[in-house]
Structure 1
């Protein structure tokens, strides 16, 4: 049974935080699905990841290609992940179910702490997931480094 990790982004934007988390997940040997809500936003993330530094290359693909099942990291807007992920990372308030949390090694929910709607959405997800019996951790970078602030 997995756990949901909530990442409250307050100091660094998504495009800086996501590659770090993806590197850690790949270091654990996991295949990852990154789920968003809008195709254009996922295309932007795709471009952003390809432009990363050479020492932190992240092989990945945008869902809808001929080799989705082979991708170690697949960017998608759907709940179907062709790459059979061990870890799901959601951005921009993409939905997560308690069943997904329980079936995967880890679910990471990244949300923009400067956006009140995103914070409210994450609070609702926390309540929904923990209310369904899922393990969850809340991580904040408010102090300048990531610190676990809550656990359920």
Structure 2
């Protein structure tokens, strides 16, 4: 069963919150796949990650990129996981996809968008019913607070 964290974005968007989470992922020696809602979202995230200054560099590629099996971070709008990632980051998810092959799942959702919050609640309910371990993290002025 996957450990699933719901990350309630309240002060920044995913493009600003992801670099720190991805940096920590790479620091632990893990690989990540980021599933975006649309191909356009995947391209925008790919562009945004090339401009990140902290951490200094996040090695990654997106669907259509070269050497997908070598990439520690893979960005897609599909279900492909060519890099053998064990961490899944979901952006713009509308339903609760199968998460069983993953060790950890990060579900980032925009707390300023009521439809995104409502969709996250539905995913929480569905994933809890499947028996996964869930955690809720709320973005604060500095960092994250885990709700109990």
**TM-score normalized by structure 2?**
0.92
Q: Which residue of 2 aligns with 1:135?
A: 133
Q: After the TM superposition, which parts of structure 1 deviate over 4 Å for at least 4 consecutive aligned residues?
A: none
Contact 1:35 1:94 in 2 (8 A): no
CA gap 1:51/1:143 in 2 versus in 1, 3 angstroms:
closer
Larger helix proportion of the pair: 1
Q: Which residue of 2 aligns with 1:21?
A: 21
Contact 2:95 2:119 in 1 (8 A): no
Aligned positions, number: 148
Q: CA RMSD in A?
A: 1.6
- Unaligned segments of structure 2, at least 5 residues: none
Distance 2:94 2:70 in 1: 23
Contact 2:34 2:88 in 1 (8 A): yes
Structure 1 residue 78: deviation in Å?
0.9
Q: Which residue of 1 aligns with 2:33?
A: 33
Distance 2:82 2:124 in 1: 26
Larger deviation, residues 140-149 vs 62-71: 140-149
Per-residue displacement from partner, 1:35-82 (whole Å, max 9, x unpaired)?
012111111110110011175200000112231111100000111211
Structure 1 residue 143: deviation in Å?
5.6
Q: Which residue of 2 aligns with 1:108?
A: 106
Q: Which residue of 2 aligns with 1:121?
A: 119
CA gap 1:88/1:94 in 2 versus in 1, 3 angstroms:
farther
Distance 1:65 1:13 in 2: 25
**TM-score normalized by structure 1?**
0.90
Structure 1 residue 94: deviation in Å?
5.3
Distance 1:94 1:121 in 2: 6
